[in-house]
Chain A
Amino acid sequence: MITQWFFTHVDRRGGVAIVLLVALGLLVPLSNLLLPVTSPFHIPTYLVSLIGKYLTYAMLAVALDLVWGFCGILSLGHGAFFALGGYAMGMYLMRQIGPRGVYADPILPDFMVFLNWKDLPWFWHGFDNFWFAALMVVLVPGILAFGFGWLAFRSRVTGVYLSIITQALTYALLLAFFRNDMGFGGNNGLTDFKDILGFNVQAGSTRSALFAATALFLALAVFVSSFIVRSKLGKVLVGVRDAESRMRFLGYRVDRYKLFVWTISAMMAGIAGALYVPQVGIINPSEFEPANSIEAVIWVAVGGRGTIIGPIIGAVLVNFGKTYFTAAFPEIWLFALGALFIVVTLFLPKGILGVYGSWKARNSDHVARKKESAPAAADETLQIPEPQAAE
């Protein structure tokens, strides 16, 4: 019954992905905790938090693909929502340190003490409570996205113009969070976390728990986006992506649809960020760097834009490559990474899944093709106004 309901809303691939993720979320921690270090199947703690990190990136990619792949909104600033969620979580973790900070100040985080701030800024209040922080993790990015989108979509900012102002957004936030006066620890950011919900963040068990949580949330994200994509709303979104004004003439308030999916996506990114912070142990303004957001776009493109699990594959693959290359050939790894991007765009235009799709399409009739919701060739994201006399 439930499974049947489940599969009406998730396509086969999405379903498989979800099942795999749940399995991963259970098995990896178990192998890390129960199996002896000697066992070949034992996964060392650093791999656990490493893969955990990848999965949070994957979640960011899924969120980004929801707006870009299915609604044609190319955001070059999704890192901002990720980072904001991260900061919300970071602030909770800071408050948890309490008197164990180096200055043993019961309330103020260390960086405030040595910049001799007298008392806690108003926006830091409440973050000592996990659930409040958790709420902020989704609300702060959500509200920012809503406000931003409400402005942008209503005044019909589209294509590259939208992309660039999203970049401006994250860039402005980057500069803002760099300022020490903002009260977020300046360029050093928030760090030296002690524990989360009373468990020591350093402990292997906590790491495994965080990993499991990440995997499950990612599964949830996959479910939510495939639920959206397979609903009639999803059809509307793809319609907007391919022929925005046509949707208007059919009577759809395009701006509202965009706003809805944009906000959802931002919240997803926020959650990803919140899961990211305790696993890497620091959050600082560099997360806002436009380059990071662009990389996220690249993960999606590599994996396959407009597919549910493509972004996951892309994010994991690229970051795994990064980890591997930076250790294997530290001197020249950028060549490898750069080459990867070039090769992917030239030879896998629709990403890795796209290749799989078109391969499938080649040996089966076009009926099969309907399952592929790969983006139409004509891309809406760049519209250079062509001067044109009326009719």
Chain B
Amino acid sequence: MQFTRLLSALVLMLGILVHAVGSNAQTVDDGTLGLLIQALAGENFDDTTRAVSDLVKSGDPRASSILNALSAGDLYVAKAGKTVFIGKRDGSDYAAIDPITGSKLAPVPRSAAEKIKVNNRLRRDIAAAIGGLTLMSDKADERRSAAEAILKTRDPESIPLLDKAIAAEKDASIKLLMNQAKAAAVLNSGATGEVKIAAIAEVSAGNSRDALGLLTPLAGVEGPVGEAARAAIDSINSKLALWNGIQNIVYGLSLGSVLLLAAIGLAITFGVMGVINMAHGEMVMIGAYTTFVVQQIIRTSAPGLFDYSLLIALPAAFLASGAIGVVIERSVIRFLYGRPLETLLATWGISLVLQQAIRSWFGASNVQVGNPSWMAGSFDLGLLTLTWSRLWIIVFALAVFAILQLLLKKTMLGLRMRAVTQNRRMASSMGIRTPWVDALTFGLGSGIAGIAGVALSQIDNVSPNLGQGYIIDSFMVVVFGGVGNLWGTLVGAMSLGIANKFLEPFAGAVLGKILVLVLIILFIQKRPRGLFALKGRAIEA
């Protein structure tokens, strides 16, 4: 402990000495470097941090690779002899590399070495430090990340470095980033007056969120700097306020499309066929589990295909859920037409069985369904961030809806379905094989639920309870929209989604949800047949 302190101090002096002596090649002899590196294996994070800065000050080119290894958690110290090495797990050993020479060392048994601990703060510092080192690097992306790192740390000490880099920089976008970083650093520094005001202008031109972070501390300051800061903050805030509205709508649509996906299959089995299908949620769940299975197979057999896993899962899920749907229809539902309540009972029983089946098959806990790369991450739309998965789900939901509409309105099958559901006796007397159509319709509804499961597996957890989480909302959507009308389902889902998102900010998530339910209840009073009720002389009695 004490020792390392002393050591590092000593090393520091050495380093500086070297600085002075070393004419241009900013390097230290291996011995010193070795000591510097050893210091990294400090007693606690503070020691390590200090050691890192020392290492950087040494300005040795090898430092960056060592620090990278450290922040990646690949730097180990042998219990015996306290020698530090870069290690990679290899069975019960570490494949060791000498950080100084980069040459291979004899593998070290896992038990004989321990990892040099890093935490978030340390990683930040290292990133910044490396930033300092790689700011002049000849690789564009290294320079970019370096600038970003400094933009995060706002370390005033890096200002001179930045000046040099900016002067040298060719790439406009990186230059902009560097200017941002510099401005940030300036704001963080002791600089005053014009310099800061200029920096404020520079900063507020960039990403508003970060800018707000930089400016808020200055708002309290007296004098022109403070005023400039306050003005900038106000303009940014007004911009944010506007974007909040937009965000609510976009997020509302995204929530709406999730509801739509969850409900659309039900809109067929329940809305069109009149089966109170309590097993609908389980069809969604089965779709999600199909995705899991597909991904498992791909992981083991063809990892390269992982990005296509969802595309492969879609038909698979459709067939899996669809097939189960057909089986259910043939074995149970078909005996219950005209007795909708019995369908509620039977399907409830079926849902219990399916849940338990999945539970005993895949286990009760969550299974992991990964995002393919094109689903991961997010992009900025003005000031709001929308994740790719959400965007794709919106697109997907609408696509499914459109396809379904076409299927029902334009194809022979769709025609028959409508015929059968509207007047079974007449349809059969016209030579339509109603049992066959029934099975297909129910299969279709279940299949759609299945592909919904593929999409939902990307944003929700895949467990045997998955279905239960969606069944109530789905029924709400279908009924709210008007039973037997797909457009109703679409509009219903979207309006519920948006309503939810506008209520959430001021009512809170919980109260918001309650309010939406109350709204549904009251709305049904006004339109007892839902949003898109069909008028005309529907026969009662």
**Contacting chain B: which of A25-33, A78-86, A172-180?**
A172-180
Say yes or no: is B57 at the interface (Cβ < 8 Å to chain A): no
Say yes or no: is B415 at the interface (Cβ < 8 Å to chain A): no
Residues of chain A from 362 to 388 with CB closer than 8 A to chain B in the complex = 377-379, 381-388
Once the chains bind, are A332 and B520 in contact (CB under 8 Å)? no
Say yes or no: is B479 at the interface (Cβ < 8 Å to chain A): yes
CA distance A169 to B518 in the complex (A): 7
Say yes or no: is A390 at the interface (Cβ < 8 Å to chain B): yes
Once the chains bind, are A179 and B539 in contact (CB under 8 Å)? no
Once the chains bind, are A338 and B534 in contact (CB under 8 Å)? no
Once the chains bind, are A388 and B346 in contact (CB under 8 Å)? no
Say yes or no: is B533 at the interface (Cβ < 8 Å to chain A): yes
Residue of A nearest to B354 (CB): A338
Residue of A nearest to B528 (CB): A157
CA distance A58 to B355 in the complex (A): 27
Least Cβ–Cβ distance between B294 and chain A, in angstroms: 26
Least Cβ–Cβ distance between B331 and chain A, in angstroms: 9
Once the chains bind, are A245 and B541 in contact (CB under 8 Å)? yes
CA distance A305 to B525 in the complex (A): 28
Say yes or no: is B332 at the interface (Cβ < 8 Å to chain A): yes
Once the chains bind, are A381 and B341 in contact (CB under 8 Å)? yes
Chain B residues with CB under 8 Å of A385's CB are 483-484, 529, 533-534, 536, 538
CA distance A349 to B338 in the complex (A): 12
Chain A residues with CB under 8 Å of B421's CB are 384
Say yes or no: is A47 at the interface (Cβ < 8 Å to chain B): no
Say yes or no: is B206 at the interface (Cβ < 8 Å to chain A): no
Once the chains bind, are A341 and B339 in contact (CB under 8 Å)? no
**Contacting chain A: which of B218-226, B432-440, B509-517?**
B509-517
CA distance A118 to B78 in the complex (A): 59
Once the chains bind, are A384 and B514 in contact (CB under 8 Å)? no
Residues of chain B from 337 to 392 with CB closer than 8 A to chain A in the complex = 338-346, 348-353, 355-357, 360
Say yes or no: is A167 at the interface (Cβ < 8 Å to chain B): yes
CA distance A381 to B276 in the complex (A): 11
Once the chains bind, are A345 and B336 in contact (CB under 8 Å)? yes
Once the chains bind, are A349 and B510 in contact (CB under 8 Å)? no
Residue of B nearest to A291 (CB): B468
CA distance A391 to B525 in the complex (A): 28
The one of B360, B483, B514 in contact with A176, judged by C-beta atoms closer than 8 angstroms, is: B514
Say yes or no: is B476 at the interface (Cβ < 8 Å to chain A): yes
Once the chains bind, are B479 and A151 in contact (CB under 8 Å)? no
Once the chains bind, are B541 and A243 in contact (CB under 8 Å)? yes
Say yes or no: is B278 at the interface (Cβ < 8 Å to chain A): yes
What is the 8 Å Cβ interface bit string for chain A, positions 327-366, against chain B (1 contact, 0 not)? 0000110110111111011100100000000000000000
Once the chains bind, are A298 and B536 in contact (CB under 8 Å)? no
Residue of A nearest to B515 (CB): A172
Q: How many A-B residue pairs have CB under 8 A?
A: 164
Known contacts being A335-B356, A338-B349, A341-B348, is A386 close to B539, with CB within 8 Å? yes
Once the chains bind, are B475 and A167 in contact (CB under 8 Å)? yes
Say yes or no: is A158 at the interface (Cβ < 8 Å to chain B): yes
Chain B residues with CB under 8 Å of A381's CB are 340-341
Once the chains bind, are A298 and B525 in contact (CB under 8 Å)? no
Say yes or no: is B472 at the interface (Cβ < 8 Å to chain A): yes
The one of A152, A165, A338, A346 in contact with B352, judged by C-beta atoms closer than 8 angstroms, is: A338
CA distance A143 to B514 in the complex (A): 20
What is the 8 Å Cβ interface bit string for chain B, positions 306-350, against chain A (1 contact, 0 not)? 000000000000000000000000001001101111111110111
Residues of chain B from 477 to 534 with CB closer than 8 A to chain A in the complex = 479, 483-484, 510-511, 513-514, 517-518, 520-522, 524-526, 528-530, 533-534
CA distance A157 to B346 in the complex (A): 25
CA distance A340 to B521 in the complex (A): 33
Say yes or no: is B450 at the interface (Cβ < 8 Å to chain A): no
Chain B residues with CB under 8 Å of A338's CB are 348-353, 356
Once the chains bind, are B348 and A294 in contact (CB under 8 Å)? yes
Known contacts being A158-B528, A171-B517, is A382 close to B534, with CB within 8 Å? no
Least Cβ–Cβ distance between B417 and chain A, in angstroms: 13
The one of A152, A301, A341, A387 in contact with B534, judged by C-beta atoms closer than 8 angstroms, is: A387
Least Cβ–Cβ distance between A32 and chain B, in angstroms: 34
Once the chains bind, are B534 and A344 in contact (CB under 8 Å)? no
Once the chains bind, are B525 and A341 in contact (CB under 8 Å)? no
Residue of A nearest to B482 (CB): A385
Say yes or no: is B30 at the interface (Cβ < 8 Å to chain A): no
Once the chains bind, are B536 and A390 in contact (CB under 8 Å)? yes
Once the chains bind, are B525 and A152 in contact (CB under 8 Å)? yes
The one of B276, B352, B518 in contact with A337, judged by C-beta atoms closer than 8 angstroms, is: B352
Known contacts being A167-B475, A334-B355, A384-B484, is A178 close to B346, with CB within 8 Å? no
CA distance A342 to B348 in the complex (A): 8
Known contacts being A152-B525, A171-B517, A332-B356, is A342 close to B350, with CB within 8 Å? yes
Say yes or no: is A244 at the interface (Cβ < 8 Å to chain B): yes
Q: Which among A160, A244, A331 has the highest number of chain B CB atoms within 10 Å? A: A160
CA distance A246 to B353 in the complex (A): 41
Say yes or no: is A297 at the interface (Cβ < 8 Å to chain B): yes
CA distance A231 to B475 in the complex (A): 37
Say yes or no: is B540 at the interface (Cβ < 8 Å to chain A): yes
Residues of chain A from 131 to 168 with CB closer than 8 A to chain B in the complex = 148, 151-152, 155-158, 160-161, 164-165, 167-168
Once the chains bind, are B517 and A382 in contact (CB under 8 Å)? no
Once the chains bind, are A161 and B278 in contact (CB under 8 Å)? no
Once the chains bind, are A165 and B520 in contact (CB under 8 Å)? yes
Say yes or no: is B422 at the interface (Cβ < 8 Å to chain A): yes
Residue of B nearest to A290 (CB): B472
Chain B residues with CB under 8 Å of A2's CB are none
What is the 8 Å Cβ interface bit string for chain A, positions 163-202, against chain B (1 contact, 0 not)? 0110111011001101100000000000000000000000
Known contacts being A155-B528, A384-B274, is A349 close to B342, with CB within 8 Å? yes
Residue of A nearest to B359 (CB): A334
The one of B338, B343, B349 in contact with A340, judged by C-beta atoms closer than 8 angstroms, is: B349
Once the chains bind, are A168 and B517 in contact (CB under 8 Å)? yes
Once the chains bind, are A379 and B524 in contact (CB under 8 Å)? no
- B residues near A, CB below 8 A? 271, 274, 276, 278, 332, 335-336, 338-346, 348-353, 355-357, 360, 421-422, 468, 472, 475-476, 479, 483-484, 510-511, 513-514, 517-518, 520-522, 524-526, 528-530, 533-534, 536-541
Beyond known contacts A151-B522, A155-B525, A161-B530: 4 more, CB 8 A cutoff: A168-B517, A172-B518, A176-B514, A338-B350
What would be 17 A-B contacts, judged by CB atoms less than 8 Å apart?
Answer: A161-B479, A164-B476, A167-B475, A168-B476, A168-B521, A172-B521, A175-B510, A331-B360, A339-B353, A340-B349, A341-B352, A345-B349, A382-B276, A383-B540, A386-B422, A387-B538, A388-B538
- A residues near B, CB below 8 A? 74, 148, 151-152, 155-158, 160-161, 164-165, 167-169, 171-172, 175-176, 178-179, 243-246, 290-291, 294, 297-298, 301, 305, 331-332, 334-335, 337-342, 344-346, 349, 377-379, 381-391
Which 10 pairs show the lowest CB-CB distances between chains A and B? A341-B349, A338-B352, A338-B353, A334-B356, A172-B517, A382-B340, A338-B349, A245-B541, A342-B349, A164-B479
